[in-house]
Amino acid sequence: MKKVLIRLTGVAILLAAAWGGYRFFQQLPQRQEHVATTKVLRGDVVIRSYTRGELRAVRSVTLSAPNLFSTVQVTRLAPMGSLAHEKDLIVEFDDSERRAQLEETMLEVEQTDEQIKKAEADLAMRSNQDQVDLLHTRYGVRRAELEVQRNDIISAIDAKKNLLTLEEQRRRLLQLQSDIRSRQEQALAQLAVLKEQRNKAMIDVRREQQRIAQAKVLSPMTGLVAIRQNRTGFFMFGQQIPDIREGDTLQPGIPVADVLDLSELELVAKVGELDRANLHEGQDVLITLDAVPDKQFRGKIKGMSGTASSNVFSGDPAKKFDVIFSIDMRQLLTGLGMKPAEVEKIMQTAERNAKRSPAAPSLPGGPGGMAAMPASPGMAGAPGAAPGGMQGQGMAGGQGMTPGAPGGPEAAGGRGGAQPADRLRFQKELEKALGGKRLEQATPEEQQRALAQARRAMQASGGAGGMAGRPAAPGGTPLTPEGGNPLDLLRVSSVAVGQFTEQDRANARLPLPPEEDSQLQVLLRPGLLADIEITVERIPNALHVPVQAVFDRAGQTVVYVQRLGRFEERPVQVARRSESVMVLSGGVKPGELVALADPNAKQNAKKGERKSKGGGAMGTMPGGATK
């Protein structure tokens, strides 16, 4: 009996061992041998954040198509990527229609001037004739009065006739005086109508001259020329939008070109809310332009916004912060093929531009004024053409009274030799003489009288004399001799619009095209995209694993360590995390193998548990590192 029990016990033990072995091999995961693994490493870790930004110039001027009230067609255009100097011609529009209209308007002014002269001559002749008739009538009255004095020595009938004659002569004198007044008032009214027609025609002349002046758009500063895309018309989705070229017809107000200051370019990007806490001004970044993917350029964080915002029209509803990154311009220009001498020249020119701080072009305003314009490179208003409005193409001082305009800075000094105080005093004297009226709105007699009065006032006060009061051209040469036709003065001087004079426009030339081997064209378009790599933190001698090796299980951070052919779940402590690396403070040792995917994912799925997302790796923050 005892032997039987021993045998049964041995058989049971063997069966139990066999069953245990069978269950052990059954419980082994089928895909365990297919799970990728990696080693736990110890070394220096650099935590980086990545974002994507848009290139723009810190200082730029957007030049727009003017409103010429006719076809706005490009006749000449600066080459793409050319380096334009101040007062260089950027774009010229066809002004033939405006010049034809100007000739018609000026002819109308001259015809009105002749009508005014004829009316004044007729009025003078009629006044002289009326004075003669009035003198004859007064003589008749006096003769009748003398005849009445003889009534005592003549018959009663003759005396009665003398009285009747005297009464008739007096009535005739009164009637003649009334007729003279009526004729003078009528003639003066007709003359006033002609003068108002002349004033209206002069305003039209001024407006046409301003439109012609706007047909040439000059560069307000030295910089790189970037030609915009021609968005006039209808384009299908995905269709390539062409650049503006010579011969294109544009809509008024559409941006034509940008003048970019090459001294300082920057990138504007957005970062997530978690990234923002790890960034600070002055952090080093590496920038890779899409147009130059084989080169990296140094940069730094220049500024960060304090509030986050979201774009409802984008696919990402998360709120993000705006960050501005500066670029090492010397390295960038050198890497794009510019010679050291050219780089130094650009940097020196850029320093002058920085001191001037040019703004975006201003828009024409109302009579004698201007309207401001926003500075965003992408925005440009349509230049209007209100009477007396001006188009300023940059900021550089002097957009009020321009040199060469009537009563302007050159008016007091004749040839430009007057002191600023004398010029200002002459301008005030001219305004006082005109009674607040503009010079081109006054009649020729009023203009000559106001100029003479201002000149006498300047001479009496000891200011500039001699040529004072005779407005000068932009170069300083008097436009008309004393007593000349003010219309000739207006024809030349009134086209000095904004910061540029007619002489500047006449001398403007297109900039030279860029060299064939130059790669500066990659910088020509505002909005060029670039990848930005931000170095958030450097951690020396850190224990780290890839982010795919860390998992979240029931609120606990774990890794799966391979031991004896199986994976053992082990909790770990995370010190830092980034998009690609997890820095651990404990739980594993260097050299141990950890799984890059959840080895129990299939088994957990059978049990109805939720599968891990992204290969089972622990979720990381969007786009960067956090503490």
pLDDT at 146 over 80: yes
Report the pLDDT value the prediction gives residue 185, as an integer from 0 to 100.
Answer: 92
pLDDT at 411 over 70: no
State the Rg of the chain over Cα.
Answer: 45
Report the pLDDT value the prediction gives residue 602, as an integer from 0 to 100.
Answer: 59
Question: What is the per-residue burial (b if ≥16 Cβ within 10 Å, else e) of 317-342?
Answer: eeebbbbbbbbebebbbebbebeeeb
Find out whether 326 and 300 touch, Cβ atoms under 8 Å: yes
Report the pLDDT value the prediction gives residue 406, as an integer from 0 to 100.
Answer: 37
Report the pLDDT value the prediction gives residue 259, as an integer from 0 to 100.
Answer: 87
Q: Would 364 be classed as within a structural domain?
A: no
Q: What band does 379 get if pLDDT is binned at 50, 70 and 90?
A: very low
Report the pLDDT value the prediction gives residue 423, as an integer from 0 to 100.
Answer: 65
Report the pLDDT value the prediction gives residue 177, as an integer from 0 to 100.
Answer: 92
* Rounded Cα–Cα distance for residues 546 and 494 (Å): 73
**For the chain, what percent of residues have pLDDT higher than 90?**
18
pLDDT at 473 over 60: no
pLDDT at 38 over 50: yes
Q: What band does 25 get if pLDDT is binned at 50, 70 and 90?
A: low
Q: What is the mean predicted confidence (pLDDT) over 291-307?
A: 87
What are the phi and psi torsion angles at 254 (to 5°)? -70, 135
Q: What band does 526 get if pLDDT is binned at 50, 70 and 90?
A: low
Taking Cα atoms as reference points, which of 521, 507, 510 lies closest to residue 91?
510
Min mean pLDDT across 127-136, 227-236, 476-485 is at 476-485
**For the chain, what percent of residues have pLDDT higher than 70?**
71
Alpha carbon 226 to chain centroid, angstroms:
13
pLDDT by residue (tens digit) across 199-229?
A: 999 999 988 988 898 899 998 888 888 888 8
Q: Would 449 be classed as within a structural domain?
A: yes
Instruction: Give the burial class of 550: count Cβ atoms within 10 A of its Cβ; 0-12 exposed, 13-18 middle, 19 or more buried.
Output: buried
Q: What is the mean predicted confidence (pLDDT) over 502-506?
A: 84
Last residue of a domain, one of 211, 227, 252: 211
Within 10 angstroms of residue 557's Cβ, the number of other Cβ atoms is 17
- Which one is predicted more confidently, 415 or 130? 130
Q: What band does 494 get if pLDDT is binned at 50, 70 and 90?
A: very low
Which domain covers residue 135, as residue numbers?
97-211
Q: Would 411 be classed as within a structural domain?
A: yes
Mean pLDDT of the chain: 75
Q: What is the mean predicted confidence (pLDDT) over 101-109?
A: 91
Min mean pLDDT across 21-25, 496-500, 506-510 is at 496-500
Report the pLDDT value the prediction gives residue 622, as an integer from 0 to 100.
Answer: 37
Report the pLDDT value the prediction gives residue 372, as an integer from 0 to 100.
Answer: 34
Q: Would 333 be classed as within a structural domain?
A: no
pLDDT at 389 over 70: no
Q: What band does 132 get if pLDDT is binned at 50, 70 and 90?
A: very high
* Rounded Cα–Cα distance for residues 498 and 487 (Å): 21
> Can you give the three-state secondary structure of 547-591, one letter per residue?
HHHCEEECCEEEEEEEECCEEEEEECEEEEECCCEEEEEECCCCC
Report the pLDDT value the prediction gives residue 229, as an integer from 0 to 100.
Answer: 83
Q: What band does 36 get if pLDDT is binned at 50, 70 and 90?
A: confident
Find out whether 320 and 52 touch, Cβ atoms under 8 Å: no
Report the pLDDT value the prediction gives residue 556, as an integer from 0 to 100.
Answer: 85
Q: Would 298 be classed as within a structural domain?
A: no
pLDDT at 105 over 80: yes
* Rounded Cα–Cα distance for residues 408 and 159 (Å): 73
Q: What band does 129 get if pLDDT is binned at 50, 70 and 90?
A: very high
pLDDT at 175 over 90: yes
Q: What band does 8 get if pLDDT is binned at 50, 70 and 90?
A: confident
For residue 544, give Cα distances in angstroms to 47, 361, 573, 613. 11, 55, 11, 21
User: 133-139: long-range contacts (C-beta < 8 A, 24 or more apart)?
Assistant: 133/176, 134/173, 134/176, 134/177, 134/180, 137/169, 137/172, 137/173, 137/176, 138/173
Min mean pLDDT across 204-218, 315-329, 444-458 is at 444-458
Report the pLDDT value the prediction gives residue 434, as an integer from 0 to 100.
Answer: 79
For residue 84, give Cα distances in angstroms to 80, 122, 551. 10, 58, 58
* Rounded Cα–Cα distance for residues 598 and 551 (Å): 8
Last residue of a domain, one of 470, 497, 524: 497
Q: What is the mean predicted confidence (pLDDT) over 123-129?
A: 91
Q: What is the mean predicted confidence (pLDDT) over 493-503?
A: 62
* Rounded Cα–Cα distance for residues 365 and 371 (Å): 5
The tokens describing 252, both together, are 């008024």
- The count of C-alpha atoms lying within 13 angstroms of the C-alpha of 208, restricted to the half-sphere facing its C-beta, is 21
* Rounded Cα–Cα distance for residues 604 and 610 (Å): 7
Highest mean pLDDT among 392-396, 455-459, 614-618: 455-459
- Which one is predicted more confidently, 486 or 421? 421
- Which one is predicted more confidently, 489 or 528? 528
Find out whether 279 and 323 touch, Cβ atoms under 8 Å: yes
Q: Would 1 be classed as within a structural domain?
A: no
Query: Global pTM?
Result: 0.53
Find out whether 217 and 74 touch, Cβ atoms under 8 Å: no
pLDDT at 470 over 90: no
Report the pLDDT value the prediction gives residue 178, as an integer from 0 to 100.
Answer: 93
pLDDT by residue (tens digit) across 330-376?
A: 888 888 777 888 788 777 777 777 776 544 333 333 333 333 333 33
In 236-339, alpha helices (H): 273-276, 329-335
Highest mean pLDDT among 10-19, 248-257, 454-463, 575-584: 248-257
* Rounded Cα–Cα distance for residues 282 and 301 (Å): 5
pLDDT at 100 over 50: yes
Q: What is the mean predicted confidence (pLDDT) over 49-56?
A: 87
Report the pLDDT value the prediction gives residue 94, as an integer from 0 to 100.
Answer: 92
Q: What band does 378 get if pLDDT is binned at 50, 70 and 90?
A: very low
Report the pLDDT value the prediction gives residue 438, as an integer from 0 to 100.
Answer: 64
Q: What is the DSSP string of 346-411?
A: HHHHHHHHHHH---PPPEE-STT-EE-----TT--PPP---TT-----S-SS--SSPTTSTTSHHH
Query: CA torsion 14→20→26→28, rounded to 10°?
Result: -130
Q: Would 256 be classed as within a structural domain?
A: no
Taking Cα atoms as reference points, which of 361, 384, 334 lies closest to residue 258?
361
* Rounded Cα–Cα distance for residues 484 and 348 (Å): 47
280 contacts: CB under 8 Å, gap ≥ 6: 301, 304
pLDDT at 586 over 80: yes
* Rounded Cα–Cα distance for residues 100 and 98 (Å): 5
Q: Would 459 be classed as within a structural domain?
A: yes
Report the pLDDT value the prediction gives residue 525, as an integer from 0 to 100.
Answer: 61
Last residue of a domain, one of 478, 497, 516: 497
The DSSP code for 471 is: -
Report the pLDDT value the prediction gives residue 614, as an integer from 0 to 100.
Answer: 39
Report the pLDDT value the prediction gives residue 223, as an integer from 0 to 100.
Answer: 81
Give the total number of structural domains in the chain: 2
